[in-house]
Amino acid sequence: MPTRRFKHVRSRAASLAAFVGPGAWGKSLAASGLAAGLLLAGLAVPSEAAPYYSAPLRTAARSLPVAAENNAGYDRTRYFGSWLDTNRDCQNTRAEVLLQETKAPVTFTTARKCTLRTGRWVSVWDNRTHYSASAVEIDHTVPVHEAWGSGARYWSQARRVAFYNDLSDSRSLNALTAALNSAKQARGPESWMPPANSCAYIGQWIAVKIRWGLRVDSVEKAALIRYADRCPNVTVGVTRV
């Protein structure tokens, strides 16, 4: 069976159940993710802040603060870094996500088991199955460029690196078909939507924006509200960092 030596164990089925909902999945995710997320980000939550957010999808979409995007000075490598090995087990964030999302036993490229060779991954936004780790990429639900323009440019370096490597909430990162990731690039729901599971995608996008305190521009918010109004009005539960 897949090696799971880290504490952020999840599955894609759990992710789709937990992206919304104050039930067992949502509450468990919030409880387990808070301490790890804050530690990784190097942040402390003010005593007056409510770290856990819960609201119906349509309410959550309408609650997002609006501001024009400011992408000046964006440099992905300089300001967000790269995949980290935060628990020092030689498996970086990419490897951890692949381990978390595999639906079959994996093989590794070396005896040290640092990088994966094969497994079985179902890319949730197009329902395609892949058996080679090299066929999938790790996608930030809210692209890094989008995050920068939506508020991350004002964050500390530690917080930006934490966003880039967020393993504490299963909605932040996804193993995705490489071609689909290339098609998405840095676009938001106002200009790109996945071919499958669009309501789950909208819920995950909104959850990540709320989790990290990111803003939306007016066109993006209008699109989120339009899609949310067409989707089941499920509950979005998310731990803020």
Nearest Cα to Cα of residue 2 among 89, 107, 84, 90: 107
Contact criterion met (CB below 8 Å) for 137 and 181: yes
- The domain limits of the chain are 12-239
pLDDT digits (tens, 9 = 90+) for 115-155: 999 999 999 999 999 999 999 999 999 999 999 999 999 99
- Give 108's pLDDT tier (boundaries 50, 70, 90): very high
Give alpha helix (H) positions in 44-176: 57-63, 76-80, 93-101, 144-149, 157-164
Euclidean distance between CA atoms 240 and 44, whole angstroms: 11
The residues near 223 (Cβ < 8 Å, ≥ 6 apart) are 188, 189, 190
Q: How many CA atoms lie within 13 A of 228 on its CB side?
A: 27
Q: Which residue has the higher pLDDT, 44 or 83?
A: 83
70-93 burial: b if 16+ Cβ within 10 Å, else e? eeeebeeeebbeebbebeeeebbb
Tell me the three state secondary structure of residue 196: coil
- Give 49's pLDDT tier (boundaries 50, 70, 90): low
Euclidean distance between CA atoms 58 and 227, whole angstroms: 9
Euclidean distance between CA atoms 167 and 208, whole angstroms: 12
Give alpha helix (H) positions in the chain: 12-18, 24-41, 57-63, 76-80, 93-101, 144-149, 157-164, 178-184, 198-212, 218-230
Euclidean distance between CA atoms 177 and 121, whole angstroms: 9
Tell me the three state secondary structure of residue 46: coil
Nearest Cα to Cα of residue 125 among 186, 168, 173, 165: 173
The residues near 13 (Cβ < 8 Å, ≥ 6 apart) are none
pTM, entire model = 0.81
pLDDT digits (tens, 9 = 90+) for 186-203: 999 999 999 999 999 999
In this predicted structure, what is the pLDDT of residue 15?
Answer: 40
